[in-house]
Amino acid sequence: MDSISMLGYVAALCTSCAFVPQVVQILRSGNVDGISLHMYSVFTLGVGLWLTYGYILGDMPMMLANLVTFILAAMVLGLTVHKRIQQRRRESQKQRI
């Protein structure tokens, strides 16, 4: 493996792992109050496009980084939507009582 590819893999590891604490925090606490749905929607779309771009180029570090980041960002997005729907249902049930 050449040094440029190694640089790409290390960069991929750093940027992808940056999302793990957010996913873990949401799973543990269930708190999604500080998560912007618009930001994560646009970000996840952008990462998906980078993944496609890496695939077209055949750039393995780019594909791996963006695949992992896409999965983690999609998890944050999905958990946020799910938790907010649950919160709204609970609030609506409390208002009925």
Listing DSSP states for 66-82 in one string gives HHHHHHHHHHHHHHHHH
Domains by residue range for the chain, with CATH: 3-96 (1.20.1280.290)
- What is the band of 84 on the pLDDT scale with cuts at 50, 70, 90? very high
Average of per-residue pLDDT values in the chain: 90
pLDDT given for residue 28 in this prediction: 93
Q: What is the pTM of this model?
A: 0.80
Cα angle for residues 49, 53, 56 (degrees, 5° grid): 140
For range 25-43, the mean pLDDT: 91
Cα distance between residue 70 and residue 19, in whole Å? 10
pLDDT in tens, 48-69: 999 999 999 998 888 988 999 9
Higher pLDDT, 87 or 96: 87
